[in-house]
Amino acid sequence: MLIAIGIIAALWVVVFFVARWRWKQWQNSEGSPPDDTRQKG
């Protein structure tokens, strides 16, 4: 049972990071990046 809980928790972490990364990519493609990304060019 603990193994299943660990697998589910790991999947949630992966999904969370992927969703946050995709959200940043989508915001950047919208044309309104934050100041730190604008400085990178």
What does pTM read for this prediction? 0.50
Residues 6+ apart with CB under 8 A from 33: 27
**pLDDT in the model for residue 24:** 87
Per the rule left: phi > 0, alpha: psi between -120 and 50, beta: everything else, 31 is: left
Helical residues (DSSP H) of the chain, grouped into ranges: 2-30, 35-40
> Which of residues 27 and 3 earns the better pLDDT score?
3
> Which of residues 25 and 3 earns the better pLDDT score?
3
Q: Is the dihedral of CA 27, 33, 35, 37 positive or negative?
A: positive
* Residue reference for tokens 């959200």: 23
